[in-house]
Structure 1
C-alpha cells in the first residue's frame, strides 16, 4: 500500500466505504460505475466507463487488496472502494519463458506461482496461487493450454458458481452491503 494512503488512513480513520462504483472485468479492465450505470443493473449487465488513465490504474493496482470477508477493494486514501467482480478477483497473464516454463502475472503486475488449475463449465481456465483465484486472460488461454498439455497444470472440473464459496471471494460487495443494510422485516413482508 502506498505511504500516502497509509497517512490518509491515519488522518481520517472513519471515512465511509464506497460500494458499486468500481468494477473489474474478466480481462482485468477497470470500470467506473456512476449512479446512472448502477441504476441499470449489476456489473455484469452494466459495466460503466472503462478506465484508461495509466497512472490511476497503477495506483489502483498498488492499493488493491481484500478484507477478511473476501471482498476485494481499492484503498483510495482514507476511503475503501469495494470492487464488483465479473469473474474473479485476479486476472492472470501467462507467458512462456526462455527456459520452456511458464510465468504467471496478475493484472496488477504481481508475479506468482501456480498451485492449482480449474476449468469451469464454460471452458474458462482459472489458476490458483498464494494471492488467490484468478481467471486466465482470454489472450493467454492458448499459452496456458500448452502448460496443461505438458502436464504442468492439471485442470480440475468446477462450476463457476461454486468458486466464490470455495475460494472465499465476494463477486458483488455492493449486493452484500445492500442485503446487510435491509432490515429483516423489509426483506420479508
Structure 2
C-alpha cells in the first residue's frame, strides 16, 4: 500500500466505505460505475467507464486488497472502495517465459488449476483465485498438456465460498 494512502487513513480514520463504484471484469480491466451506471443493473451487465489512465490503473493495483470478510477493495486514500468482481479477484496473464502475472502486476506461482462448467480456467495462487485471461488460451492449452498443475472440474457458483471472496460487496451491503 502506498505511503500516502497510509497517511490519509491515519489522518481521516472514519471515512465511510464506498460500494458499487468500481468493478473488475474478466479481462482484468477496472471500470468506474457512477450512479446512473449502477441504476442500469449489476456489474458485468452494466460495467461503466473503462479506466484507461495507466497511472490510475497502477495506483488501484498497488492499493488492492482483501478484507476479513473476503471483500476485495481499493484503498483510495482514507476511503475503501469495494470492488464488484465479474469472475474472480484476480485475472492471470500467462507469460511466454513460463511466468504467471496478475492484472495488478504481481507474479505468482500457481498451485492448482480449476475448470468450470463453461470451460473457463482459474488458477489458485497465494494471493487468491484468478481467472486466466481469454487471450492466453493457446499458451494455457500447451501448459495444461504439460500437466503443470493438478486440474479439477468445478462449478463457478462454488468458487466464492470455497475461496472466500465476495463477488458483489454492493449486493451484500444491501442484504
* TM-score of Structure 1 vs Structure 2, range by shorter chain: over 0.9
Quick one: distance in 2 between partners of 1:120 and 1:155?
11
Within the alignment, does 1:105 sit opposite 2:101 as a pair?
yes
Q: Where does structure 1 differ by over 3 angstroms across 4 or more consecutive aligned residues?
A: none
Extract unaligned runs of 5+ from structure 1: 180-189
Give the drift of 1:142.
1.3
**Other structure's SS at 1:164 match:** helix
Within the alignment, does 1:118 sit opposite 2:114 as a pair?
yes
Give the drift of 1:154.
3.1
1:5 match: 5
Give the drift of 1:95.
1.6
Give the drift of 1:153.
2.1
2:56 match: 56
Compute the TM-score of the two structures, normalised by the length of structure 1.
Answer: 0.91
Larger radius of gyration: 1
1:162 match: 158
Quick one: distance in 2 between partners of 1:49 and 1:20?
13
Aligned residue pairs, count: 175
Compute the TM-score of the two structures, normalised by the length of structure 2.
Answer: 0.99
Extract unaligned runs of 5+ from structure 2: none
2:17 match: 17
How large is the Cα RMSD of the aligned pairs? 0.6
Q: Which residue among 143, 148, 156 is the counterpart of 1:147?
A: 143
